[in-house]
Structure 1
Amino acid sequence: MVVLALPAQAQDSQQPLQDQPWLDDLQDNVTDSINATALWFDHFFADESLQMDEKARGEARIRLGWEPRSRAVNEFETRFRVRVKLPNMKHQTDLIFSDYDEDEDASSIKAARNDAIDNRNRFSMALRWTAKKSADLNVSHRIGVGRKLQPYVKSQVRKTFGLSDINNVNLEASVYYYTQDRFGSHLMAQYEHQLAGNDLFRFDNHFYFRDEENDWIWQHGWYKYSQWDDKTAMIYGLYVEGNSRPNYRVEEYLVSTRWRKNALRKWLFFEVEPFMLWRRDEDFKVSYGLALRVEGYFGHSG
């Protein structure tokens, strides 16, 4: 089950531009800018002797959030990710600009994310190409700059095993090298079980190795996804994180319930997520919070 999948095309109004509300003007202007950027980049790799059937295109995701909690009211967050498809290059190639790494975004709550993972990935620009892709196997490579403009390379393999009609196991392994942070790796094992109706249970396991610190960060999460209709979903979660040094111990617990709604426009999403957080650096005293977010998707997804 896909919870609130993105629309195949973000535009949802056929009215003339001058007659559209300001939300539609915003959607059109941002989408046009992204696609113009995609065409500009793709032009550098064009071969005049070849006629390409596919045009370059781009898409963007922008999220604004306020996540106040006990002892930390001013928890604001902005995130963006722009992906540009370049058909004139060989293989399936994307150019990605972002201030976060989706592969290392295990928790939706900013206060619960590990600073060693989250803060160092505030901006990156990478060229990603797919070496092999099928229904159950994806192999990709990246080269770019990130973590305070460090040049890096990264390779990733993702494999899906369909155990039955209602059970899947997803495995992922990646290895990377940054010029200052040196080698690192990420291992992921995910189990999915389709429940009755439109409900899904998912068990996540993540392990990150950092060469610079010579330790492992581990994360486990249990989630239940409930799709109420084609515009509304609930996500119930329990999240645990810890380190391997100085010993294998828990650093934090998080319990949350996320309500997600597609409203006003096909490309606009709203989230409300009450949560409780226990952190070791706060002596595991419970912190109550409420996350409020709005997300916009621009361009063409898929």
Structure 2
Amino acid sequence: MRRSLVSCILFGYLVGAGAAEPVPSAPEQDLGGQDSVMVRGRAAVRDLTESVARHVDRWFGDKPFEPGGKVSGSIGLKFLAQQHESPEMNLRFRARLDLPNVKEQTYLFFGQENEQELITDQPDAFTRRELLLPEDRKADLTGFAGLGYALRDMIDFRAGVRGGFKPYAQARYKKNWLVSERNGVEFRETLFWKPDDGFGATTVFNVSHAFSPSVALRWQSAGTISKETDGMAWASSLGVFKSYGVDRLASLEAVVSGATAASDDIGEYGVRAIWQQPIYREWTILEVSVGHFWPQGEAKAVRGQNWALGVGVDIRF
């Protein structure tokens, strides 16, 4: 799911889930009754993930898993209906394992994501999932796993494999500045590598202004350069975000994207509105998004237009 909320309004920062890490969530007791299936299903996924973490951790030493060991992750299911396209439903899964027998800043990760967005470290706001664009489950989505090392909360190194044991690597630098009481800036630079495309880079720059403790204006932008892009593939959005409490958020954004060396610099523009809230306990989050977009047609002078609806549920564990 694309956002954590309160810090976005108070400090001008949005914490994503896409390229961002899963939000930890404490285990919860089964209270019985009608909700037991949901609770037990979530607990089973968490227990399975933790058993993997304990097993791998024993490869590196004899320290007990508690208190230093930790697992966190999420399962996301999203339904997309786009005008002129067949409806589709996709599943995302991601997990992070902090292991006490591995060096303190080192962690393991695995899951399933859009392969290109995973490698280029695209910000959540500009993924196909959040732009309400269709994905081919066989061609676009892939399983992945790897090892990460975090240095001083600003530098992150990752090396892993995705579908077919194809390797990739990333080096990411991120920095947030609270410019004033109401204004914040976020910068992120990711260098990435994969054998068939060589090196590339993704730059993310976001600026936020809080009008009040619950309302913020945010400008988000990202650009990616690699052998597969037409010059620099870029995207930008400007929107207003309104918080209604923890994990409850409404937003309205104008979005535009394109490529600098394409036949038309602007490939698509549009507007999207999103509502997000918990629907079951604090760890099951619903997101409903509606968008109207004007993509570039085959003829340069002609633009199409279409509506899109997305309904997603994210279960954190």
TM-score (normalizing by structure 2) = 0.81
Partner in structure 1 of residue 18 of structure 2: none
Instruction: Tell me by how many angstroms 1:250 deviates.
Output: 0.5
Q: CA–CA distance in 1 between the matches of 2:7 and 2:86? A: 33
User: What whole-Å deviation, never above 9, does each CA across 1:102-125 have from its counterpart, x for those lacking one?
Assistant: 93133365365598xxx6563321
Q: CA–CA distance in 1 between the matches of 2:199 and 2:280? A: 45
Counterpart contact for 1:158–1:172, Cα < 8 Å: yes
Q: CA–CA distance in 2 between the matches of 1:240 and 1:228? A: 27
Counterpart contact for 1:192–1:203, Cα < 8 Å: yes
User: What whole-Å deviation, never above 9, does each CA across 1:10-62 have from its counterpart, x for those lacking one?
Assistant: 444463x799621111122111111111111111111x4x6776332212211
Which of 3, 28, 43 is 2:43 aligned to? 28
TM-score (normalizing by structure 1) = 0.85
Quote the RMSD (CA, aligned, Å): 3.0
Which of 186, 193, 196 is 2:212 aligned to? 196
Counterpart contact for 1:219–1:239, Cα < 8 Å: yes
Partner in structure 1 of residue 146 of structure 2: 126
Which of 199, 202, 205 is 1:186 aligned to? 202
Instruction: Tell me by how many angstroms 1:197 deviates.
Output: 2.9
The answer as to 2:7 corresponding to 1:2 is yes
What SS does structure 2 have at the residue aligned with 1:123? strand
What SS does structure 2 have at the residue aligned with 1:180? coil
Partner in structure 2 of residue 103 of structure 1: 121
Partner in structure 2 of residue 90 of structure 1: 103
Change (3 A) 1:187 1:7: closer
The answer as to 2:280 corresponding to 1:264 is yes
Partner in structure 2 of residue 42 of structure 1: 57
Q: CA–CA distance in 1 between the matches of 2:263 and 2:121? A: 25
State the number of aligned residues: 290
Partner in structure 2 of residue 54 of structure 1: 67
Instruction: Tell me by how many angstroms 1:196 deviates.
Output: 1.2
Instruction: Tell me by how many angstroms 1:190 deviates.
Output: 0.9
What SS does structure 2 have at the residue aligned with 1:68? strand
What SS does structure 2 have at the residue aligned with 1:195? strand
The answer as to 2:166 corresponding to 1:153 is no
Change (3 A) 1:248 1:288: closer
Change (3 A) 1:200 1:212: same
- How much identity, in percent, do the aligned residues show? 20
The answer as to 2:302 corresponding to 1:287 is no
Stretch moving more, 268-277 or 145-154: 145-154
User: What whole-Å deviation, never above 9, does each CA across 1:64-91 have from its counterpart, x for those lacking one?
Assistant: 1111121013232221111111221114
Which of 280, 289, 314 is 1:273 aligned to? 289
